[in-house]
């Protein structure tokens, strides 16, 4: 679809827009979960991020965690019906020593029955992408975060093209791609539509939707009013219409939507949930999400 067509849809009556997007979803909901395997001390200056070493956010920092801790988190995720589990590390790109350890963590996750391995470890080069695929990684997560035109307002230490190149490498080596955005960082409605179209070009299997949770002492600490609930729902609907084959996934910041609107989104445009806690912010109790899925008469994958 063209930008003008999506903009016209965006401005429809909300109920009509959600009715259109609901035609593109299944009755399934897929749970995934993550472990924050290395936290903080990131060299990049992403303005939303608590883990950037450019800002004094006073978060706990730690090196790569032990395999036993990853396995424990993965098994706990499985108990709460997660079918995918991601190892997430801070930093632009992994150091060689950490990368080799991450490969071992992926192998450990792959040994857990009915749990598919994912990883989010930063920007990749060709050799890293190939090695991840050879190790058996099922899906790699790497967000574009925002549209190309707005990216310089978000980060200056790497480019939107750097992120796109990693997405291309993931597909080159046959892994599934999880690639999404953060809403509410000051982008315009037109730029949200640009995001939807850029994702349609990338064609990820999964599109994680994060909503900015402003972090104290970051440049975006006062950005809590940049998007409201209605515009979040409108954006979700447009993303689904533009990307009908991709699973839209609730991720960080979804508690900025009321329970009622979270359920409305699950009925009309969202088919996945990242359960449990996020990287530096608290999520929902997984049992609450299980109960919501049952209430909506949806099927857990």
Average pLDDT over residues 111-124: 97
Do 124 and 93 contact (CB within 8 A), yes or no?
yes
For 194, the domain range is: 3-300
How far apart, in whole angstroms, are the C-alpha atoms of residue 60 and residue 19? 44
**221-256: pLDDT as tens digits:** 999 999 999 999 999 999 999 999 999 999 999 999
The mean predicted confidence, pLDDT, of the chain is: 95
Per-residue pLDDT at 59: 79
Q: How many domains does the chain have?
A: 1
When pLDDT is cut at 50, 70 and 90, the band that residue 60 belongs to is confident
* Predicted structure pTM score: 0.95
Identify the three-state secondary structure at position 29: strand
Do 182 and 210 contact (CB within 8 A), yes or no?
yes
Per-residue pLDDT at 265: 98
Per-residue pLDDT at 277: 62
CATH of the domain at 288: 3.20.20.70
Q: With left for phi above 0 and alpha for psi between -120 and 50, is residue 12 left, alpha or beta?
A: beta
Do 144 and 160 contact (CB within 8 A), yes or no?
yes
């Amino acid at each position: 679809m063209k930008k003008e067509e999506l903009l016209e849809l965006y401005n429809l009556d909300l109920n009509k827009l959600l009715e259109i997007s609901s035609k593109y979803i299944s009755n399934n909901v897929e749970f995934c979960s993550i472990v924050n395997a290395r936290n903080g001390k990131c060299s990049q200056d992403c303005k939303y991020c608590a883990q950037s070493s450019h800002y004094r956010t006073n978060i706990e920092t730690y090196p790569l965690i032990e395999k036993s801790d990853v396995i424990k988190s993965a098994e706990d995720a499985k108990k709460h019906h997660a079918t995918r589990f991601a190892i997430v590390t801070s930093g632009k790109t992994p150091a060689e020593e950490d990368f080799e350890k991450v490969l071992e963590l992926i192998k450990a996750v792959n040994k857990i029955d009915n749990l598919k391995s994912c990883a989010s470890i930063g920007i990749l080069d060709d050799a890293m992408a190939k090695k991840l695929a050879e190790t058996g990684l099922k899906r790699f997560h790497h967000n574009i975060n925002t549209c190309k035109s707005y990216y310089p307002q978000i980060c200056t230490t790497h480019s939107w093209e750097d992120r796109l190149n990693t997405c291309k490498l993931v597909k080159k080596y046959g892994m599934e791609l999880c690639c999404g955005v953060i809403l509410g960082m000051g982008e315009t409605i037109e730029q949200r539509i640009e995001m939807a179209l850029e994702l349609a070009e990338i064609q990820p299997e999964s599109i994680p939707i994060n909503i900015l949770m402003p972090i104290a002492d970051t440049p975006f600490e006062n950005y809590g009013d940049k998007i409201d609930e209605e515009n979040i729902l409108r954006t979700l609907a447009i993303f689904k219409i533009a990307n009908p084959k991709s699973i839209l996934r609730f991720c960080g910041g979804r508690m900025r939507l009321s329970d009622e609107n979270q359920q409305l989104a699950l009925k009309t445009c969202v088919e996945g949930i990242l359960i449990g806690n996020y990287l530096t912010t608290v999520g929902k109790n997984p049992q609450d999400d299980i109960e919501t899925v049952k209430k909506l008469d949806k099927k857990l994958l």
